[in-house]
Structure 1
Amino acid sequence: MNRKSLTATLLTLCILGLAVFLTACGRDCFVGSRTAEAGSYRLDIDRMTGTDRFTMELGTGDTLGVQFETVKGSIYMEIKEPDESSLYAGNGKGVTEFTVSISQSGTYSIYVEARHAKGTVYIQRIDGKNALWN
C-alpha cells in the first residue's frame, strides 16, 4: 500500500470514528436500566438523551418516596396528578431524597426528559410496612 492510499484510509477511519462519537446518544438513546412495576419506577441512567413516561395508580393518603439525582448533563422530572396539574417538577440537583403526599386517587404520570445525562430516578409507593428504599 502506498503512502497516499494509507493516508486516505486513515483519514476515512478517523472521520467514521468521529461521526460515531458525535452521534452516540446525540438524539434519542438510553443506556442503563429501567424497571417499571405497579408500585415503583426506576431509571438508572448511564447515558440518556430523550424522554420516558410511566403511569402509576395511587390512592388518597399514599406517599411516594423519591430518589432523584443528576450526576451529569440534565434531567428534568415531573410528576403530574390525575387532572394533569404538576405535583412535583425538578432537575435532580440539590435535595436528592424526599417524599410526596398523594391527596387524590387516580392515575399519576411521571415524565423524565434527559439531555446527555447520567443519574438516577427512583420512585416508590410507601406504605406503613415498607422501608423507604427496599
Structure 2
Amino acid sequence: MDLREAAEKVRENAYVPYSKFKVGAALRGASGTIYVGCNVENVAYPEGTCAEAGAIAAMVAAGETEFTEALVIADSPTPVPPCGGCRQKLVEFGKAEVKLTMCTTDGAETVMTLAEVLPGRFDASHMERT
C-alpha cells in the first residue's frame, strides 16, 4: 500500500459530523512502516484532532519518532495544507527536506518540503544556551 492509498482509506473513517470535511493523513516512518490518521471532531471545536496529529500519535505509539515522507488528502477544490499547529507537529518528527504531498480526492497535488511548509520553524536549538 502506498501513502496515497493509505490516506484515502483512513479518510473514510474521519468523524466529522459538524464540518463534513474529511481529512486523511499518512506518514512513512523511518522503518518504512506507514502510519495513518484522520480528523476527529468534537462539538467543542478546539477539542478535535487533526489527521496529521493522529498519524503522528500512531507512529509514536508504535515506537517510532521520525518519518521520511508525508501525505494529506481532502475533498477540497485545491490541495489542503496542514494547519499551523500540525505544521509544527510535523517538523518535530520530520527533517527539513522531508516531502509533504497535499492532495485532493480529484487528483490535484502540491508537493513541498517541511522547510517550505514551515519556514523559520521553532526547534530545540532555540532553547540552547551558549
Q: TM-score, normalised to structure 1's length? A: 0.29
- Higher helix content, 1 or 2: 2
- Higher strand content, 1 or 2: 1
Q: TM-score, normalised to structure 2's length? A: 0.30
- Structure label with greater radius of gyration: 1
